[in-house]
Amino acid sequence: MTAPESARQIAEEFLDTEIRYRFPHPVVIVDDAVKELDDVYVFPYDGKAYVESGDWREAMAGNSPVAVDKRTGEARFSA
């Protein structure tokens, strides 16, 4: 079973390899929107300035959250 702290680290690494390199601004996990479901942890993300101050220039539209499987620790985009 993957612990919440480990799942977050897995999600951060997934963002590094799949998302962050594509954007000129920092991308962060939205802490107050993280969810624990029966079989996965769900980590929404967005532009750092948007999360911290509402700067719409860094808002990310249409992004799928990162889901980390509790059993395997595998990360993927959430459906």
Confidence of residue 79 (pLDDT cuts 50, 70, 90): confident
Predicted TM-score (pTM) of this structure = 0.93
Phi, psi of 43 (to 5 degrees): -120, 95
Share of the chain above pLDDT 70, in %: 100
Contacts of 50 (CB under 8 A, 6+ apart): 56, 57, 58, 59, 60
What residue numbers bound the domain in which 57 lies?
A: 4-77
Mean pLDDT throughout 61-74? 96
> What one-letter code names the amino acid at 61?
A
pLDDT one-digit tens code per residue, 43-58: 999 999 999 999 998 8
How many domains are contained in the chain? 1
